[in-house]
Chains A and B, each alone.
Chain A
């Protein structure tokens, strides 16, 4: 009778297992920490890139609006730079409810749609632009809404961002010769991205001291219309008299 050969395999000892576990933890703990750190940084960087792209888009839109800003003829040529931009502040809610409004030349005038005949003249209807800050779902951030109002057409509303942390358009006065004042607009805003939102999609929080990524944007832009008025205050302004705006109220 033959028996199959028996091979004696030695099992791991407890000490061996403990040593292996210790060595593995020594290797993997720093690797995992590094991985987490790198992933968090990478997520923040991607969020930053997205915010910068949004900020540039908003900045470019407002820049275009302010560059083309103008003022309708209201029976007088006395326009000051202050008239170019109206600011409605909110008394109690900080930036919420703040409105910046001004007039601009229509952006698409190829078809003559915005020109209206009044008697012997053609008038150029202007567009009213309103930037308004409203409460956002992502508190304490705000929503920036752009409204385009053109007489006889429905209002066009665009939400530019719901992550505004700060926003203002400042009027910078410039003293010209003969005491005349011109000016430029100084746009400044902050976009914020709560890190908690990034973490929900990724990893646990660690930076309680820095709850948000904030990016700041600014622009200095002059109105072509007002710039001409300031440079040639004595010139005949028949081109100004054709500019009109009527909200139909």
Chain B
């Protein structure tokens, strides 16, 4: 005599669990791709924001920067976190709209070695909201030396 056996509760739960694992894996992969794309976009802007003050200060040159008692360069605040704008009101430099989510700190240190003088420029850029997950180190930094 044939015995018709239905699915048991355990079989059903195992099937659901299996499907659940596949869905989680799929969604995690998607989430990873999205996060990587977002991070790459932010990283591109942050790298440029970190390069910008070095380029500007290099154009001014050592003497122009040092002739002032306190260093005052349009569009750059020294030794303090400065919120970025999509368009700098002082210089007219145009940046991507997403730049407003970042802040930047420029540090200038005077160096002297064997009668040679120079300025060490350090720039740090961080995201205002997402400091931990977007950049593995929390911020992007860049530095440059301007010789006399």
When the two chains form the complex, which single residue of A9, A44, A48, A231 contacts B41, counting CB atoms closer than 8 Å? A48
Contact A46 B37 (CB under 8 A): yes
- Contact in complex: B48, A42 (CB < 8 Å): no
A7-B93 in contact given A42-B30, A49-B37, A52-B41 (Cβ < 8 Å) = no
Contact of A5 among B1, B26, B45, B96 (CB under 8 A): B1
Contact status A31-B30, CB under 8 Å: no
Shortest distance between the CB of B59 and any CB in chain A (Å)? 4
Q: Scoring B residues 38 to 63 as 1 if CB is less than 8 Å from chain A, else 0, what string do you get?
A: 10110011001001100110111101
Residue B97 lies at the interface, judged by CB distance under 8 Å to chain A: yes
State whether the Cβ of B130 lies closer than 8 Å to any Cβ in chain A.
no
Q: Shortest distance in angstroms between A203's beta carbon and chain B's nearest beta carbon? A: 14
- The answer to whether B37 and A48 have CB atoms under 8 Å apart is yes
The answer on a CB contact under 8 Å between A7 and B2 is yes
Q: Give chain B's interface residue range (CB within 8 Å of chain A).
A: 35 or more
How many residues of A are in contact with the other chain, CB < 8 A?
40
Is there an interface contact between A218 and B59, defined as CB atoms closer than 8 Å? no
A166-183 at interface with B (beta carbon < 8 Å):
170, 172, 174, 176-177, 182-183
Are B56 and A184 neighbours in the complex by a CB distance under 8 Å? Answer: yes
* B93 contact set on A, CB distance < 8 A: 172, 186, 218, 220
Residues of A within 8 A of B111 (CB): none
B-side contacts of A45, CB under 8 Å:
30, 33-34, 36-38
Q: Are A217 and B33 in contact (CB-based, < 8 A)?
A: no
Residues of B within 8 A of A46 (CB): 33, 37
The reply on B80 being an interface residue by CB < 8 A is: no
A240 at the binding interface (Cβ < 8 Å):
no
- CB contacts between A and B, total, < 8 Å: 102
Chain B residues contacting A183 (CB-CB under 8 Å) are 59
The answer to whether A227 touches B92, judged by C-beta atoms less than 8 angstroms apart, is no
Q: Is A139 an interface residue (CB 8 A)?
A: no
Contact of A222 with B by CB under 8 A: yes
Q: 1/0 per position for A117-153, CB-CB distance to B under 8 A?
A: 0000000000000000000000000000000000000
Interface centre among B58, B97, B99 (most CB of A within 10 A): B58
A216 near B59 (CB under 8 angstroms)?
A: no
Give 1 or 0 for each of A48-60: 1 = CB within 8 Å of chain B CB.
Answer: 1100100110010
* Docked pose: A178 CA to B92 CA in angstroms: 22
Given known A52-B40, A172-B92, contact A220–B30 (CB-CB < 8 A):
no
B44 engages A222 (CB within 8 Å): no
Question: Contacts A31-B23, A49-B33 given; 11 further ones with Cβ under 8 A?
Answer: A42-B30, A45-B30, A45-B34, A48-B40, A49-B37, A170-B92, A186-B94, A188-B96, A218-B95, A227-B58, A231-B64
22 chain-A/chain-B pairs, Cβ below 8 angstroms: A7-B2, A38-B27, A41-B30, A42-B30, A45-B33, A52-B37, A52-B40, A56-B44, A170-B94, A172-B93, A174-B59, A174-B60, A176-B60, A182-B60, A184-B59, A186-B94, A188-B96, A218-B95, A220-B55, A220-B56, A230-B59, A231-B61
